[in-house]
Amino acid sequence: MFANSHPPLGHALALVLRIAAAVALAGVVAMWFLAVGRARSTGTELGVGGGGESGKMFGLGFAVVVVIEAVALFGGIAVLRALDRPEESNVAWIALVVGVHFVALGPIWRDWTIMVPGVVLTVLGVAGLVMTASSAVAWVPLVSGVLSGVTLLAGCLAAVRRGLSAQGSPISGGRR
């Protein structure tokens, strides 16, 4: 969000977005530390879904998705550059690939909720790529960058909140 909050947005709106992003990120980090502390004190594990095929969040399936993601990211950006696409295309491509990455992780982690931000990021990436072929190219960083950042922060906040709720945190409204 920080890198993509610039013109055509007005200076004041860009500043508000950057401050909001910093506050949201600080909130997510604080809630994550709270969740980790509670997990340690109760002896529970933090994670998603039912784990991967080996019962671990970062198993073979995760590794395969990340390798494919890295190849798609860098390969796609190279192709966009070779096709002489506008630089804003890179932001849209990154949103698309990261979105597909989350969609692919849903079944691996057996956590369908991760697919919601994945689908949103994918749509924002596709929208940005379409916009690069139009007169709206200057708005691609907002659509595919800033809105993707908002989506990722909201997804992180929701995941941490679910974790705290499962642990019975008073912050999440869960029971102890």
Q: Considering only residues 157 and 51, tell me which one the structure prediction assigns the higher pLDDT.
A: 157
What digits encode the pLDDT tens for the residues 124-137? 999 999 999 999 99
State both tokens at 117: 């931000």
Per-residue confidence band for 51, with pLDDT thresholds at 50, 70 and 90? very low
**What are the residues whose beta carbons fall under 8 Å from the beta carbon of 70, sequence distance 6 or more?**
none
Mean predicted confidence (pLDDT) in 158-176: 62
Q: pTM, whole model, 2 decimals?
A: 0.73
pLDDT of residue 167: 62
Task: Report the percentage of the chain scoring pLDDT > 90.
Answer: 43
Predicted confidence (pLDDT) at residue 146 exceeds the cutoff of 80: yes
Mean of all residue pLDDT scores within the chain: 81
| Spatial distance between the Cα atoms of 98 and 100, rounded to a whole number of angstroms | 6
